[in-house]
Amino acid sequence: GAAGTAAMAAGEGLVSVDYEVFGKVQGVFFRKYTQAEGKKLGLVGWVQNTSHGSVRGQLQGPAARVRELQEWLRKTGSPQSRISRAEFCNEKKIEALEHKDFVILK
């Protein structure tokens, strides 16, 4: 029933995960799209370009939503991007969100 589903979602709790996406992901509005997608899913975190041509950041939110954005980072990205691979690390359960919003860092 619905109550069971809600309890399960609550039981899943919040997770934090770091990510880095490789490929043609700079100069193609990748950060803007990642921010928009993150906000749409109700996640918080950040995204930034690295000096070696990748995009990295951190995602935090309900585990199921974080999974959705991980899939998006792995396969979709921005329309002009060409993702070769996405790596995720430092996944951990958190008690509370450590960011207020989803931001683009310079």
Q: Which residues are known catalytic residues?
A: 31, 49
Phi and psi angles of residue 64, each rounded to the nearest 5 degrees, phi first: -65, -40
**C-alpha distance from residue 20 to each of 11, 42, 57 (Å):** 27, 20, 7
Q: What gap in Å lies between CA 82 and CA 96, rounded to an integer?
A: 33
CB 37 within 8 A of CB 72: yes
Instruction: Measure the CA angle with vertex 64, ends 49 and 10; round to 5°.
Output: 125
